Amino acid sequence: MSEEGHILEVKKFGNPVLRKIAEPITEISDEIRELVEEMVDTMYEENGIGLAAPQVGQSIRLFVIDTHFDDEEYGSEGEKLFCPKMPMALINPEIVSSSGENIPFEEGCLSIPLINASVIRPSNIVLRAKTLDGELIEADFGGLTARCMQHEIDHLDGVLFTDRAEKEDLKLVAKKLEQLRMKTEKALKKRKPKKRK
């Protein structure tokens, strides 16, 4: 684990970085490795199970994930293989295919704190990505892992779970969302650096 003070600021709803399409990573550099370490620390500090680079202000195609639970029975080959190795960083991830039932599940997000809504997603996906070691993986994932991966890949495409939420749930949280957006925009305006001469 990295030294204390390496916890990154999680960008909140209303921050423009969350709406950008992230750039592919061309080289797994020391800076990327350091960022991954800090993202994992931040994810744990915030009690999350996934965190995408845009959520910490880096518009690159990378996310970290930890959906490994000791008592969990994993239903897919990918989960059996990769969950025990978590936390993992996945670089330039893409969903090759999806299958199974479309299942509603209440999601939350570290960038949209204290707001939850039901989102329908496919139960299984085939994910292709590179690991931090440069190994190309392609495997089938299901359960919470598949959902978390879909949620994080959405972040890389500038999509938030509230964009996909059930309309009825969205109505219930619309006011809170607007308040959060206004709070973020106000904080960003205050923080704008003065122009240097």
Residue 63 Cα to chain centre, angstroms: 6
Q: Which candidate in 38, 152, 166, 185 is catalytic?
A: 152
83 is in an annotated binding site: no
Amino acid of residue 192:
K
6 is in an annotated binding site: no
SS percent in the chain: helix, strand, coil, step 5? 40, 30, 30
The first and second tokens of residue 63, run together, are 């996310």
- Round the CA-based radius of gyration of the chain to a whole number and report it: 17
Tell me the C-alpha distance between 32 and 121, whole Å.
30
List the 112-130 sheet strands across, edge first: 50-52, 62-65, 88-109, 112-130, 136-141
Residue 152 is among the residues annotated as catalytic for this protein: yes
Binding-site residues, in ranges, read: 109, 151, 155
- What are the residue numbers of the active site? 152
Annotated binding site for Fe cation: 109, 151, 155
